């Protein structure tokens, strides 16, 4: 049993005209949009820094932090003009001090506005329908190559492949409900993060399902190439600079996503913040942007026109049988965890020849991408009905306004909202965990690694990873037995709602195991598992095996 989505892909867009998409509308009104972000930021800062002396301290602190960043941690993406800008700001501050105006809030606000504008200029994205349509046409070829399939149905014959890439994207969850809800309130799509491939994958996945484009934050380090930078901007990405941790910058970012949400723009962000180095799901989610979701919901219930509008939370689990950068990820993880105990495996450097050759290797495989959309909820974790109303566990309607009410008043209470955001973090965490789609490759990696651990009980992890590969052999029959037990276990877990069984697990144990071994980490320079000619199972890299086993570790108690 699996819950795969069976409608034919790609689905018709929910809103046909790209010009009517919330993201297009918001970015076409650039001036008002900027003004809204600016005033929101100013108001928020004024709430937190109430008198002008606090304001003055804040500005001094930000100028100082920015100076440090520019001198000690410069990146290629930093514009030349930045140093000039901050020098100018500093000069203005000195001037204010000289004239003894540094306690006048009007003057300080002037400086602050300049800083906000500066940041806003950097962050802001401009969504271009043309670029989006272009990407829409290019991506099928990219994924067609990656998934070894024809890029679409029409040109199937030309590629002489029987299956199209639409058969390789497998979706789970109530997609029709999601499509309905997308025109009722802004979706906040929260995927797990394993690979750099995640951004285009989820972006393309959303497009295949006919959902309108979303705005998403991307690390400013990805914007090094000017043409790529432009393209990403045009697809709805906004820039996030991890180095800037000052109060003003963070507030501008928050206001940016608040204004997007307030305008009903669907947003996507990776709550784990960064790719998982170990392969496991992070248990520390970023709460900042979840706070924005709470804030927006509050603004909605206080606004008569949008009173019934929900902010919709959608955890998403993206699953591949391969992680392109698995080697470097697990390497970084073990270096940090194991320190001197960890000795790196000799690695093959990626050359463009290698990259080309892997795309043409493994001719008999059919890699798939499995994406599970969790049940859409409101920000309190309540289920939503088709018209966006919140339901409690007993099926009663909940008035979302009640969460923000005390007696007959609506009360602003940042502390309360921050607790709501913390709880939302827990809800998302559980959503990401429970929607993992278990692939055949997950099963084989976990089973092989657990068997290995069991046969060398005295070795610690680092000693185990250093075992000479010729000592590591799995007998196929034993391996199948263990797979069988694990699959049974996973079936129980899935019936309890703790994971989803992929379509791949509908087969017999032998087929699942063969399929898993064949597809596990196919694009890595070494294979985590291979079946050698004598029928036995071997590994070319225990590090990779460990990485892939980690993806399943939390779902199986013991084999």
Partner 1 sequence: MSTMYNRDMGIGVIGAGKFGLALCNLLAEKNPVKLYSRRQEDTANFAANRPLRDVVLHNNVSLETDLENLCKTCEVLIPAIPSDNYPELVQAIQNIINPGHFVIHATKGFIQSNANPDTKSHRPFTVSEYFEQFTTIRRIGMIAGPNLSHEIHQGLPAGAVIGSRFNEVITIGKDLFSSDRFQIFGSNDLLAIELAGILKNYIAIGAGITEGLELGSNARSLYITRALAEIIYIANRLGVSSTSFLGLAGVGDLMTTCQSPLSRNFTVGYRIAKGESIESIVNDSIETIEGLKTLKLIHSEWRYTSRIPIAQVLHEILFDQKDPKGLINVFMKATGENDVEFAL
Contact between 405 and partner 1 per CB under 8 A: yes
Q: What angle do CA 352, 355, 358 make, to 5 degrees?
A: 150
Kindly state the smallest distance separating residue 380's Cβ from partner 1, in Å: 7
Q: Given candidates 348, 419, 454, 469, which one binds partner 1 under the rule CB under 8 A?
A: 419
Q: Given candidates 29, 385, 392, 460, which one binds partner 1 under the rule CB under 8 A?
A: 392
The window from 16-24, 270-278, 410-418, 521-529 that contacts partner 1 (CB under 8 A) reads 410-418
Which residues in 179-208 contact partner 1 (CB under 8 A)? Answer: none
CB nearer to partner 1: pick between 131 and 398: 398
Residue 287 backbone phi and psi in degrees, to 5: -90, -20
Which residues in 496-515 contact partner 1 (CB under 8 A)? Answer: 496-497
CA-closest candidate to residue 312, choices 272, 270, 265: 265
- Backbone conformation region of residue 236, classed left if phi is above 0, alpha if psi is from -120 to 50, else beta: left
Q: Given candidates 6, 100, 415, 533, which one binds partner 1 under the rule CB under 8 A?
A: 415
Contact between 492 and partner 1 per CB under 8 A: no
Contact between 352 and partner 1 per CB under 8 A: no
Contact between 557 and partner 1 per CB under 8 A: no
Alpha carbon distance 149, 171 (integer Å): 17
Q: Are 4 and 501 in contact (CB under 8 A)?
A: no
Contact between 176 and partner 1 per CB under 8 A: no
Number of residues that bind partner 1 (CB under 8 A): 25
- Backbone conformation region of residue 444, classed left if phi is above 0, alpha if psi is from -120 to 50, else beta: alpha
> 473: which strand partners?
538
Q: What is the DSSP letter of 306?
A: G
Contact between 435 and partner 1 per CB under 8 A: no
Six-digit token string for 293: 């979701």
Q: Given candidates 154, 160, 406, 458, which one binds partner 1 under the rule CB under 8 A?
A: 406
Q: Given candidates 54, 57, 97, 413, which one binds partner 1 under the rule CB under 8 A?
A: 413
Six-digit token string for 105: 């809030």
The window from 159-167, 248-256, 345-353, 392-400 that contacts partner 1 (CB under 8 A) reads 392-400
Q: What is the DSSP letter of 4?
A: B
Alpha carbon distance 40, 32 (integer Å): 12
Kindly state the smallest distance separating residue 349's Cβ from partner 1, in Å: 45
Contact between 74 and partner 1 per CB under 8 A: no
Kindly state the smallest distance separating residue 382's Cβ from partner 1, in Å: 7
DSSP characters over 361-398: S-TT----EEEEEPPPB-TTS-EE-TTS-EE-TTS-EE
Six-digit token string for 259: 């204004």
Rg (the chain; Cα; Å) = 26
Q: Given candidates 1, 346, 393, 492, which one binds partner 1 under the rule CB under 8 A?
A: 393
Contact between 157 and partner 1 per CB under 8 A: no
Alpha carbon distance 511, 533 (integer Å): 18
Kindly state the smallest distance separating residue 303's Cβ from partner 1, in Å: 19
Within 147-287, residue ranges assigned H as helices are: 156-159, 175-181, 198-208, 226-234, 247-262
CA atoms within 13 Å, Cβ hemisphere of 449: 23
Contact between 76 and partner 1 per CB under 8 A: no
CB nearer to partner 1: pick between 60 and 430: 430
Contact between 408 and partner 1 per CB under 8 A: yes
Q: Given candidates 342, 380, 462, 476, which one binds partner 1 under the rule CB under 8 A?
A: 380
Kindly state the smallest distance separating residue 400's Cβ from partner 1, in Å: 8
Kindly state the smallest distance separating residue 37's Cβ from partner 1, in Å: 29
Q: What is the DSSP letter of 499?
A: S
Kindly state the smallest distance separating residue 413's Cβ from partner 1, in Å: 6
Q: Are 105 and 58 in contact (CB under 8 A)?
A: no
Q: Measure Cα distances from 300 to 42, 205, 262, 304, 540 in Å.
A: 20, 29, 8, 8, 55
Give me the 307-346 binding string for partner 1, x by CB under 8 A, dash otherwise. ----------------------------------------
The window from 171-179, 409-417, 452-460, 508-516 that contacts partner 1 (CB under 8 A) reads 409-417
Residue 140 backbone phi and psi in degrees, to 5: -55, -35
> 470: which strand partners?
none
Give me the 451-490 binding string for partner 1, x by CB under 8 A, dash otherwise. ----------------------------------------
CA-closest candidate to residue 224, choices 340, 116, 78: 78
Kindly state the smallest distance separating residue 484's Cβ from partner 1, in Å: 24
The window from 154-162, 264-272, 318-326, 403-411 that contacts partner 1 (CB under 8 A) reads 403-411
The window from 4-12, 123-131, 394-402, 519-527 that contacts partner 1 (CB under 8 A) reads 394-402
Which helix or strand (DSSP H or E) is residue 33 part of? Answer: helix 30-48
CB nearer to partner 1: pick between 19 and 412: 412
CB nearer to partner 1: pick between 172 and 403: 403
Chain centre to alpha carbon of residue 448: 28
The window from 169-177, 299-307, 322-330, 395-403 that contacts partner 1 (CB under 8 A) reads 395-403
Which helix or strand (DSSP H or E) is residue 470 part of? Answer: none
Contact between 300 and partner 1 per CB under 8 A: no
Asked whether the CA dihedral 372, 378, 381, 385 is positive or negative, the reply is negative
Residue ranges that bind partner 1, judged by CB under 8 A? 380, 382, 392-394, 396, 398-400, 402-403, 405-409, 411, 413, 415-416, 419-420, 423, 496-497
């Amino acid at each position: 049993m699996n819950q795969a989505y069976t409608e034919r892909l790609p689905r018709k867009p929910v809103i046909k005209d790209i010009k009517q998409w919330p993201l297009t509308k918001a970015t076409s009104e650039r001036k008002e949009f900027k003004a809204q972000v600016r005033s929101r930021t100013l108001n928020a800062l004024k709430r937190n820094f109430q008198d002008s002396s606090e304001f003055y301290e804040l500005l001094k602190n930000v100028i100082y932090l920015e100076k440090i960043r520019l001198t000690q941690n410069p990146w290629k993406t930093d514009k030349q003009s930045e140093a000039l800008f901050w020098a100018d700001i500093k000069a203005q501050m000195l001037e204010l001090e000289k004239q003894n105006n540094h306690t006048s809030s009007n003057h300080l606000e002037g400086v602050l506005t300049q800083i906000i504008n500066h940041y806003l200029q950097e962050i802001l994205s401009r969504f271009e329908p043309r670029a989006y349509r272009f990407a829409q046409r290019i991506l099928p070829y990219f994924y067609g190559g990656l998934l070894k399939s024809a890029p679409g149905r029409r040109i199937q014959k030309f590629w002489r492949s029987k299956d199209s890439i639409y058969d390789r994207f497998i979706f789970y969850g109530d997609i029709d409900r999601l499509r309905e809800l997308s025109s009722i309130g802004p979706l906040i799509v929260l995927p797990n993060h394993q690979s750099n491939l995640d951004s285009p994958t989820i972006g393309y996945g959303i497009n295949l399902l006919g959902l309108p484009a979303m705005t998403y934050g991307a690390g400013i380090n990805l914007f090094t190439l000017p043409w790529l930078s432009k393209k990403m901007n045009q697809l709805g990405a906004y820039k996030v600079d991890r180095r800037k941790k000052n109060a003003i910058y963070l507030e501008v970012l928050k206001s940016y996503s608040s204004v997007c949400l307030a305008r009903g723009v669907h947003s996507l962000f990776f709550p784990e913040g960064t790719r998982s180095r170990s392969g496991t799901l992070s248990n520390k989610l970023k709460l900042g942007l979840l706070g924005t979701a709470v804030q927006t919901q509050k603004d909605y219930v206080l606004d008569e026109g949008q009173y019934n509008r929900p902010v919709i939370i959608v955890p998403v689990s993206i699953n591949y049988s391969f992680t392109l950068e698995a080697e470097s990820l697990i390497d970084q993880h073990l270096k940090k965890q194991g320190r001197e105990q960890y000795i790196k495996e000799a690695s093959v450097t990626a050359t463009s020849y290698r990259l080309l050759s892997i795309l043409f290797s493994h001719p008999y495989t059919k890699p798939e991408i499995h994406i599970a959309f969790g049940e859409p909820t409101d920000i309190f974790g309540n289920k939503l009905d088709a018209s966006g109303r919140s339901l409690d566990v007993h099926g009663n309607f909940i008035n979302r306004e009640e969460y923000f009410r005390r007696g007959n008043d609506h009360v602003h209470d940042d502390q309360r909202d921050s607790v709501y955001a913390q709880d939302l973090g827990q809800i998302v965490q559980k959503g990401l965990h429970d929607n993992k789609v278990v692939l055949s490759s997950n099963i084989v990696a976990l089973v092989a690694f657990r068997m290995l651990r069991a046969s060398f009980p005295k070795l610690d992890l680092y000693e185990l990873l250093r075992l000479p590969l010729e000592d590591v052999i799995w007998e196929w029959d034993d391996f199948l037995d263990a797979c069988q037990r694990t699959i049974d276990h996973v079936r129980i877990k899935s019936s309890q709602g703790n994971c989803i069984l992929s379509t791949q697990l509908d087969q017999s144990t032998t087929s699942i195991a063969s399929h898993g071994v064949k597809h596990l980490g196919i694009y890595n320079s070494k294979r985590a598992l291979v079946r050698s000619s004598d029928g036995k199972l071997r590994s070319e890299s225990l590090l990779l095996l460990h990485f892939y086993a980690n993806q399943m570790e939390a779902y199986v108690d013991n084999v």
